[in-house]
Amino acid sequence: MQLEAVDYQAPNAQEAFVESLRETGFGVLKNHPISQAMVTGIYQNWQTFFDSEDKNNYVYNKGTQDGFFPQSVSEVAKGFTKKDIKEYYHFYPWGQCPEALRPQLAEYYDKANDLARELLGWIEDHSPEDVSKLYSQPLSNMIKDSDQTLLRVLHYPPLQGDEEPDAIRAAAHEDINLITILPAANEPGLQVKGKDGNWIDVPCDFGNLIVNIGDMLQEASGHYFPSTTHRVINPAGTDVTKSRISLPLFLHPRPDVVLSERHTAKSYLHERLKELGVI
């Protein structure tokens, strides 16, 4: 299996991108409309945030899940026992955020949402008829005015050497939401599981945008689009001293959106969060 970047501006971009999503659960875009300068600015400002003690004034609200999640409460992926080696911040436009950092993150949130809407349109237009007839409404409409879409700023700290032997930055998992949009992080490490079970490095050239299918789109498409397992491995050699920052946007439908005969977005999310042990 190969993951190759698709040129967003190429005449066959839509077909090539959706084909990659169907085959691998992942699509990588280059020449896309998200400004690299904006992404770099966010990485810099949030590195400073994670390096400061001020982060502890923004600890997440249990009921609404917005704010800072320290490493001590970090996720344990489904089927694992060790916590991931990461801390992160959950940003929602309605949620808590240091005021100095809010405008930049809110601008990114809106721009990335616009692109997601367009890409969901591509996916819809290139779904075979027997798949698109399963969609209860246009895919791009499912996320319209949703207050559930989550921007996560992730900080993987440098390794200290005292980590538990089998703990990694992000253990193998699938995303819960419809699709995820992720600018290439400032360090490598993201891998996706191929159909043959082998791990493949996701091309992380700076400026690439990575898009992957989540469980909700897998459910809504009757498993035509796969929600593929991925993980973030630990750095080695001199890279162990480096932090890694990444910025996934998890596109969530409005809670009432019907995904399938079994599930609305709300019931699906609830089931998965319970499995993760965060609610």
Ligand X SMILES: O=C(O)CCC(=O)C(=O)O
Question: For binding to ligand X (CB under 6 A), which residues are involved?
Answer: 152, 154, 170, 175, 182, 185, 190, 230, 232, 246, 248
What residue 246 binds from Fe ion, ligand X, none (CB within 5 to 8 A, per partner kind)?
A: ligand X
Does the footprint of Fe ion cover residue 175 (CB under 5 A)? Answer: yes
User: Which residue number has the CB closest to ligand X?
Assistant: 246
State the nearest-atom distance from the C-beta of 15 to Fe ion, in Å.
25
In the chain, beta strands by DSSP E: 5-7, 26-30, 67-69, 87-91, 150-156, 170-173, 179-183, 190-193, 199-201, 209-213, 230-232, 244-246, 249-251
**Dihedral sign for Cα atoms in the order 207, 170, 64, 255:** positive
Question: What DSSP state is assigned to residue 50?
Answer: H
H or E stretch covering 150: strand 150-156
Listed in sequence order, the residues at least 6 apart from 8 whose beta carbon sits closer than 8 Å to its beta carbon are 29, 30, 31, 32, 33
State the nearest-atom distance from the C-beta of 188 to Fe ion, in Å.
15
Which of 18, 150 has the CB closer to ligand X?
150
State the nearest-atom distance from the C-beta of 62 to ligand X, in Å.
20
- What distance in Å separates the CA atoms of residue 10 and residue 18, rounded to the nearest whole number? 14
What residue 124 binds from Fe ion, ligand X, none (CB within 5 to 8 A, per partner kind)?
A: none
What residue 232 binds from ligand X, Fe ion, none (CB within 5 to 8 A, per partner kind)?
A: ligand X
- Per the CB < 8 A criterion, the answer to whether 174 and 215 are in contact is yes
User: Which residue number has the CB closest to Fe ion?
Assistant: 175
> How many CB atoms are closer than 10 A to CB 50?
19
Which of 192, 220 has the CB closer to Fe ion?
192
State the nearest-atom distance from the C-beta of 248 to Fe ion, in Å.
6
Listed in sequence order, the residues at least 6 apart from 233 whose beta carbon sits closer than 8 Å to its beta carbon are 168, 169, 189, 191, 199
Which of 89, 122 has the CB closer to ligand X?
89
- Per the CB < 8 A criterion, the answer to whether 156 and 241 are in contact is no
User: Which 3 state secondary structure label does DSSP give 51?
Assistant: helix
State the nearest-atom distance from the C-beta of 174 to Fe ion, in Å.
7
Which of 39, 170 has the CB closer to ligand X?
170
Nearest alpha-carbon partner for 118 in 3, 204, 36, 32: 32
Site string for Fe ion, 135-174 (x = CB under 5 A): ----------------------------------------
What residue 192 binds from Fe ion, ligand X, none (CB within 5 to 8 A, per partner kind)?
A: none
State the nearest-atom distance from the C-beta of 178 to ligand X, in Å.
13
State the nearest-atom distance from the C-beta of 230 to Fe ion, in Å.
6
Which of 175, 219 has the CB closer to Fe ion?
175
Which of 13, 172 has the CB closer to ligand X?
172
Nearest alpha-carbon partner for 68 in 157, 154, 156: 154
Does the footprint of Fe ion cover residue 87 (CB under 5 A)? Answer: no
Does the footprint of Fe ion cover residue 84 (CB under 5 A)? Answer: no
Listed in sequence order, the residues at least 6 apart from 133 whose beta carbon sits closer than 8 Å to its beta carbon are none
Question: Which positions lie near Fe ion, rule CB under 5 A?
Answer: 175
